[in-house]
Chains A and B, each alone.
Chain A
Amino acid sequence: MTSQPDQPLYAARVPIFPRRVNGFFRRFKWWIMAITLGIYYLTPWLRWDRGASLPDQAVLIDLANRRFYFLWIEIWPHEFYFVAGLLIMAGLGLFLFTSALGRVWCGYTCPQTVWTDLFLLVERWIEGDRNARLRLHKASWSLHKWRLRLTKWVVWLVISVATGGAWVFYFTDAPTLLRDLLSFDAHPVAYTTIAILTATTFIFGGFLREQVCIYMCPWPRIQAAMMDPDTITVAYRDWRGEPRGKGNAKTRKAAEAQEAVVAAQAAGAGAARYAGTPYPGKGTQPATPPALDTVSDKGDCIDCMACVNVCPMGIDIRNGQQMECITCALCIDACDDVMARIGKPRGLIDYLALSDEPAERAGAAPKPLWRHILRPRTILYTAMWLLVGVGLLYALFIRSDIELTVSPVRNPTFVVLSDGNVRNIYDVRLRNKAGEARTFRLSLTSDDLLQIGLEGRETLSVTVPADSTVLQRVYVTARADDPAAQEDTTALRLWVEDVSAQIRASKATTFNGRGTK
């Protein structure tokens, strides 16, 4: 790490102008971007027929009516543990992927990364690649610069509005909301949400970029704790690359030209940042000379700075593992491209496990990938993830279409009637999750001779309208000479039964007696 005693906790932002890069990981990232953005923008528009009384949006967080619809699953507020469970699974999944594959979340799927990537794409289309953007950055504010900047900002703004706009569609019927939004009839909350998300997208994706990762996001620091030497991460094979130097005249010339650009750019405040600390391996060369380069005493790294120029975080991966690195692998693509051109094997910068370093230094083969990934730690994370997942699935499949909650009235705990009988009162909430009205019959089981009665009703049946709840006061009475009337508490179970559908549900509760026994 590059920490030095006099290093300030916050460094002013140095503009970064990542160069365009081609290669396997770049293409992979485009795919990920297309898929994640596609899911984000299109999900609210999926329809799902639930019948006349319920919304037909496949994924809908209906805060007004306190329902969460996910395809065929309908979550009620008291089932919020499903959401909590999914969040726990997301957390454990992040632990698992981080311990196995490093910061792949940061590098590929984090919204900050995806939108920054998208904004960079726009920037490149409008202002050109790295060198053109550097020139434009240094140029004084001419009409040309204003035109390019304003065009870029407008496109960013359109993307930002679309980002904030897509979010609100998850919370209400999307086609209706779109119509309301366009006719300025939508709720102010919708416009406020869009405005806030537009602003954050525009500022975070356009201007703050890697600052968000370094100074605002807690994950880099947390994720570092989940990585160990067996984690697959992006690293520079210094034993192969060092000492840096030029292989032949052609590459030397090209590299010198590159260096001139870099020097010019590094003249500014960026110098300190790019220079970093000297590579610790320098000077202490491995005992075994690098096997890959037998022609010269130089390593494979020709110091072309391609890996630095493409890095969206503005770091030099050759300085070793750094907190800023999001393992997006663009430096791998850039370096592989250069290696191919100078006729060297790929992989000077690569996804690798740091524990393989001694073996590779000695010229031996690294451990196979599965042995890095299958470790007690990753197996434990997987097991925990599965445990929560199976638990949630189990809870999903055992839950009934009818449900009840029973709250015994504790004020007072019991009432003595004129004939000496003891009565307890329970507030029973009956939930009918079906799309039609249902009639439920209440009953109870206990070892004692308890009588059940419903407030305001002659029978023991309650009709609950479709997709709603009914709060029913239930009386349970024990005869004066019954043990339940005399003991402190007696266990009993309240049953709810939909006679026509043969569905039952129950809740255990207690009966409070006089406590004279």
Chain B
Amino acid sequence: MSERKTDEVTGVETTGHSWDGIEELNNPLPRWWLWTLYLCIIWAIGYTIAYPAWPMISGATQGVMGWSTRANVAADIATHEDNNAELVSQLVAADVATLPEHPDLNRYAIARGGAVFRANCSQCHGSGAAGAKGYPNLLDDDWLWGGDIDAIMTTVRHGIRNTQDDDARYSEMPAFGEILEPAEIDAVVEHVVSLSHSDFDAALAAQGAVVFADNCASCHGDAGLGMREMGAPNLADAIWLYGGDRETLHKTVEFSRFGVMPPWGPRLKEADIRAVSVYVHSLGGGE
């Protein structure tokens, strides 16, 4: 406990605490400060009545103003949709393939599509659309199922290899581990490597070419250039969805790959599907 003392100069009682010999006068709080404090308390009480504040068992008090951030956002979104209604109806009616001829509509579609992409597609394809292992890079010029805007739109609408949408593009590579011997797989991998690399074992690749012609050429083509109707990748280019080294290729042949994309038709609005297709087409790989 501190000792009560009175300051000699002012005659005011001190708080008794001493800091380096300096003591604090125990003056009352300034009146303006006190009233500001009271006003703040009254304000706070009024505020918690007016706005959502007190946490209860199943939610917070709602406040008498009926204010809610969610309702505000919904109203904002509705306002923007109203403002853009004309552009949206144009976008839904337009032939997306000719969209670049209408700069304003095209710009709107790309902006809207960018937002749709970041909300729905970036989880797999990355925020910059560069994809990842197993998730196609949408910026390059290699398209499994076609890269013109209508092909992109079909992919977005129906998805890939899913069972929810009957119109989804579907194909399946068999797991050749059950069909071929490990040595045959090694040979066919060497042949695939030889299609795009200069550094390979020619004898092994020649064996693999036979295996390839028997087992793989039906989908990937005799020269390994792939087939878009089947979503069969081109094996002679520099782009590998799962990796192009021998080990990964061996795994791919042995177990096969089966990338699935959900159908977005049921989830997105028609304008969103068109917009995101235009956006993806504009990223640099569009054909």
Contacts and interface: CB of A to CB of B under 8 A. Distances in A.
Contacts of B238: 416-420, 480
A423 B139 CA distance: 10
Nearest to A415: B139
B137 to A, nearest CB: 7
Interface in B139-153: 139-142
Interface string A389-419: 0000000000000000000011110011111
A174 interface: no
Contact of A456 (B137, B234, B237, B282): B282
A475 B284 CA distance: 8
Given A411-B126, A411-B130, A418 B284 contact: no
Contacts of A412: 126, 128, 130, 139
B100 interface: yes
Interface in A269-317: none
A473 B128 contact: no
B284 A415 contact: yes
Given A425-B139, A455-B284, A473-B282, A418 B130 contact: no
Interface string A14-45: 00000000000000000000000000000000
A415 B130 contact: yes
A455 B239 contact: no
B100 to A, nearest CB: 5
B127 interface: yes
B138 to A, nearest CB: 10
Contacts of A410: 128
A420 to B, nearest CB: 4
A390 to B, nearest CB: 41
Interface in A473-499: 473, 475, 480
Given A411-B126, A411-B130, A412-B139, A418 B282 contact: no
Contacts of B239: 416-418
Contacts of B282: 455-456, 473
Contact of B237 (A418, A425, A475): A418
A480 B237 CA distance: 12
Contact of A423 (B142, B237, B284): B284
Interface in B207-252: 234, 237-239
A409 B142 contact: no
B140 A417 contact: yes
Nearest to B106: A456
B141 A418 contact: yes
Contacts of B100: 456
B268 to A, nearest CB: 23
Contacts of B141: 417-418
A287 B168 CA distance: 109
Interface string B106-148: 1000000000000000000011101000000101111000000
B140 A415 contact: yes
Contacts of A415: 130, 137, 139-140, 284
A418 B140 contact: yes
Given A473-B284, A480-B238, A418 B142 contact: yes
A472 to B, nearest CB: 11
Contacts of A409: 128
A411 B234 CA distance: 25
Contacts of B106: 456
A455 to B, nearest CB: 6
A417 B130 CA distance: 12
Contacts of A425: 139, 284
Contacts of B130: 411-412, 415
B240 to A, nearest CB: 10
A455 B285 CA distance: 10
A425 B137 CA distance: 14
Contacts of A420: 237-238
Nearest to A411: B128
Nearest to B130: A412
| Residue from A418, A420, A480 whose CB has the most chain B CB atoms within 10 Å | A418
Contacts of A423: 139-140, 284
Interface string B65-100: 000000000000000000000000000000000001
B124 to A, nearest CB: 15
Interface centre among B106, B141, B284 (most CB of A within 10 A): B284
A425 B285 CA distance: 11
A32 to B, nearest CB: 39
Nearest to B238: A420
B242 to A, nearest CB: 15
Contacts of B140: 415-418, 423
Contacts of A456: 100, 106, 282
Interface string A414-456: 0111111001010000000000000000000000000000011
B10 to A, nearest CB: 10
B6 to A, nearest CB: 19
A415 B137 CA distance: 9
Contacts of B237: 418-420
A456 B137 CA distance: 19
B279 to A, nearest CB: 12
Contacts of B142: 417-418
A409 B282 CA distance: 14
Contact of B234 (A416, A417, A418, A480): A418
A412, A415, A419, A473 pick with most chain B CB within 10 angstroms:
A415
B83 to A, nearest CB: 17
Interface string A219-233: 000000000000000
A410 B130 CA distance: 11
Interface of B: 100, 106, 126-128, 130, 137, 139-142, 234, 237-239, 282, 284
Given A423-B140, A425-B139, A456-B282, 20 more contacts: A409-B128, A411-B127, A412-B139, A415-B137, A415-B139, A416-B239, A417-B140, A418-B140, A418-B141, A418-B234, A418-B238, A418-B239, A419-B238, A420-B237, A423-B284, A455-B282, A456-B106, A473-B282, A473-B284, A475-B284
8 contacts: A412-B128, A412-B139, A416-B239, A417-B239, A418-B142, A423-B139, A425-B284, A456-B282
> Which 6 pairs show the lowest CB-CB distances between chains A and B?
A411-B128, A418-B237, A412-B130, A420-B238, A418-B142, A415-B139
